[in-house]
Structures are given as C-alpha cells and as structure tokens.
Amino acid sequence: MLTERRCGILCHPTSMPSPYGIGDLGQGAENFIEFLVEAGQTLWQVLPLGPTGYGDSPYQSFSAFAGNPLLIDLEQLVEEGLLPKEEISPPPTFPEERVDYGAVIAFKHRVLRRSYENLSGPLQEEKAAFEEAQRFWLEDYALFMALKEHFGGDPWIKWPSDIALRQPDALAHWRQALAREMDYHRYLQFLFERQWQRIKAKANAKGIAIIGDVPIFVGHDSADVWSHRELFYLDEKGSPTVVAGVPPDYFSPTGQLWGNPLYRWDVLAREDYSWWLARLRRVLSQVDIIRLDHFRGFAGYWEIPAEAKTAIEGRWVKGPGKDFFLAVKEALGSLPIIAEDLGLITPDVIALRDAFDLPGMKVLQFAFDTDGTNAALPHNHVPNCVVYTGTHDNDTTVGWYHSRDELTQHKVRLYTGTDGRDIHWTFIRLAMTSVARMAIYPLQDVLGLGSEARLNFPGKPSGNWCWRYRQEQLTPELAQALRDLALITGRWIEPGAKKEAAPEPIEYESP
C-alpha cells in the first residue's frame, strides 16, 4: 500500500457539513468520499479520532482507544428507531463555518442520552458483543468518564485520593454506584464504532485508504494514564514529574511545552510493549495506514521538568529505538506507518526511520527558508516519502504565502515559474509531480482558502479545531481539475484502464 503512487486530501470529520454544529459520520462524510472518488483521490487522512479534552484538541484525548461521541451521526439514530425525529428537527441554529464546541457538546449529549433510553432488541445484542470484544480498554474508559462527570469535569488528579489512585475498594464502590453512567459511555463507543466502520467500509469499497494519526504521547487527564500509572513518570499522587515538548523550533522561539506525561520505556519494554501493541492494533482496526506523530520521540525525546514554565529548560533523552519497532513488527507484521519526521531531525532519527523502510514527510511550506539543498524542495525528494503542501499545524498555503517576506515569495515564484496568484494550486501541482509516492494536501488548500480557515495554531490554547466547509464548495469543476492532475502525474488510473507497459528499449547499431 505504501509503495503505490497515490494522492489524497487531509480533512478531519469535524470539518464536514452537518446541520448539527459539527461534522459527523453521516451524509457529509459520505459526500466527501464521493468527492474523493470524482477527484481521483485514493487517500483520506484524518486526525486522531478520540474524544477531545482540553482545548477541543484531538491530540489531548481522554483515551487513546475510544472514539469521539461528537462525531456520531444523529440522523442514523432516527433511522434506527433510537430517536424520534422531533428531537433533532429543526436543529438549533449553529454557525455554518465553524464549530461552537460548547453549544455542540450540550446539544449532542442531551440528544444522545435520550437515544440511550430507547436502546433495545438486536442493537442491544450488538452492543454486548462490542463490549466483550473491546473489554480490555472499554471498562476503564467507561468508569473514567463516569467519574469525570460525577466530579464535575475535574481531572482525575483532583478526585478523592482513593479512587484517583485506584484502590480496589474504591473501584468496586464506584463501579456499582455509577453503573448506569458507565453503560451510557459504553453505548456511545458502540455507536461511534458502528458508524465509523460503516464509513471506513464505504471508503475502502471505493478504493480509498484512510490514513489515521497516532500521537506518540497521551494526555495526563486520560483513562490511559489513570489506569496505567506505572507506565508513566508520575509522583506518588499521580502528578507528572517530567513532561513532553520540543525545544525552540519553527513554531515557537521558546519551544513547545505540551505537558503530556512521559513514558517509562523500561517498564514498557519489560512488558513487551503490550500497551502500545494493543493501541496500534486498535488503530489499525479503524484505519489502513498510520501517521506516527512525533516519530523522532522514539529515537530521542525532549524531557522537561514538570514545574518548568517553557520548553527551553528541557534535555534530550534516548527513546526506545529499534527495540520498539522490532517488537511491533514481530507482533503486527508489516508496518503501514508514515513517520512524522519533522522538526529537529538528527542522524539517529533518520537511521531509525530507514532501518524499517518507513516513509518520512516533506512539507512544501518548509522548503523555501534556506537554499537549494533544502530536503523539502521537490528536486530533493525521494520516492519513499509523503509530500504535503502543509499540515494541520500550518497556516493554509494561501495564508502562508501572503505572510512571507518578499525574499521568500521571490524564491517561491522563481522555483515554480509562476506569479504566485494561484499559490495553493501551484503547491498542489508541486506535490503531485514530486517523485514522492504519496502526496497529501489539506482541503483548505484544495479550496484556496486563506488564514481564516487555519485549523490549528500550535501554542494557542483555545480557538483551534473549529474550521468547517460548506458542501457547495466541493464543486464538480474542482473534482475534475484534481482528477486530471492525478491522472497526468500517475497517481490515479481511470477505472477500467490498464497501466501502460513500458516501451521496449530501442537498440541502435554502431556506425
């Protein structure tokens, strides 16, 4: 799958059209799949699918295993008899082009709770089968979420110490006291899984592979850390002693202080990386290819004292390296993994990536800040990589270009042989004509949108992950343009057409 020449679009489901304030796994997702087909695209990249926590970020999830209930399509629940139509019709008035998370969360959970009361019959049996298959993570997650609601949304570190530290008597008490709430959260996960697998099957049936995103770190306020404290550097009360981040970089002169607890890789290794293997198996049941975020952290990671105010005070610590990936390969076989190798990449990171033949990433927006040796410039690409115009952390290509200094803009115009007016399309063409086997571009770049459509500002604590598009923006003309470019660059073959065989070599006689 990673050796074929392909192209596709990065678009998280939250950005899709829906009457209910946020994109979901319903008609908007189905329409997007149809657009990919019409546009000759065979890759769809999404962000992490977990339930969002702090700042609504998919990279700060309450669970590395669970799905986001906000993505549940309510109209499917009406069709299945779980909701009366009047519960969602007419829907509240939501902004059309952005997500108002507060309003969406209140509305969706009210309606989802109503649907839970109507669960019965065959769906009840399906739910029981799902629970049995996912018990290894679902029980702790359901209790975590029930407790979180019971304690007013407080992080687990602020709960009473007996349950925060999972003393057996406290666990038994709360499982009984919150049994109904736990079952509600199992129900939400059942709905999400059922709907996501339906969407995935539709995409796969159309020849579209889904690229999922696995952050290397997990949030401290998560079911994962609460139920597996022994796997992280925490003190006796459960607070992190050291946290994750990166040193000063492209995005921040003081680095990025992410705050995620760091793994005790020695403990994970003694357990044959069983928690990580379970996590990867779970993700690979939902997507076809994994983008492993912050890949460099497996070679070496930036360790910051928990009390530090910025990331400057950190230090490099050696990661698990080859030992981890050998364990993954032995357990899972082939590694359909894209290594997110951006940032400060040292020889040990390159050696680790290449030892397992993992494709790395090239981002065109990073290509013009040095000289002609810049690895992100298309003439320096290699086939075993994925080229992006930009990522979810970047400005849109239009916004990026217009915020550059005149020298950088001149380099872009000189390299591309354009005047910069259609810079988004110019960058898509650069990506498509690259020798990189896979080319990905955010939907915002396909639509030619400016900075107002940016999805995330690294280091900005709120106001991110809100952008949405309107269905009428995905025009037949846009699909045709993408399809033509995918065809001419060898990234798509028209259905029924055969790949042309290479011509026989011509032999010339010596004079």
CA distance 338 to 52: 23
Query: Is 393 considered catalytic here?
Result: yes
Query: Is 139 considered catalytic here?
Result: no
| pLDDT tens-place string over residues 239-290 | 999 999 999 877 688 888 999 999 999 999 999 999 999 999 999 999 999 9
- Which of 221, 224, 293, 395 is the catalytic position? 293
| pLDDT tens-place string over residues 174-213 | 999 999 999 999 999 999 999 999 999 999 999 999 999 9
CATH number for the domain spanning 283: value is 3.20.20.80
Residue 177 counted as domain residue:
no
Residue 370 counted as domain residue:
yes
What does the longest C-alpha to C-alpha distance in the chain come to?
Answer: 94
Residues 6+ apart with CB under 8 A from 497: none
Q: Count how many domains the chain has.
A: 1
Residue 498 counted as domain residue:
no
Residue 163 counted as domain residue:
no
Residue 327 counted as domain residue:
yes
Q: Is 491 exposed, middle or buried (0-12, 13-18, 19+ CB in 10 A)?
A: buried
In DSSP terms, 111 is beta-bridged to none
Tally the C-alpha atoms within 13 A of residue 353's C-alpha that lie toward its C-beta: 25
CA distance 194 to 79: 14
- Short-list 120, 135, 125, 136, CA closest to 82: 120
Query: Is 340 considered catalytic here?
Result: yes
For residue 48, the SS3 value is coil
Tokens 């829907």 found at: 91
Residues 6+ apart with CB under 8 A from 335: 325, 328, 329, 356, 358
| pLDDT tens-place string over residues 300-358 | 999 999 999 999 999 999 999 999 999 999 999 989 999 999 988 999 999 999 999 99
- Which of 34, 80, 303, 393 is the catalytic position? 393
Residue 444 counted as domain residue:
yes
- Which of 340, 341, 395, 445 is the catalytic position? 340
Residue 328 counted as domain residue:
yes
Residue 174 counted as domain residue:
no
Structural domain for 118, as ranges? 6-130+202-219+246-251+258-301+318-488
The whole-number average pLDDT for the span 367-388 is 97
| pLDDT tens-place string over residues 89-131 | 999 999 999 999 999 999 999 999 999 999 988 999 999 999 9
Model pLDDT, residue 376: 98
Q: What is the value of pTM for the model shown?
A: 0.95
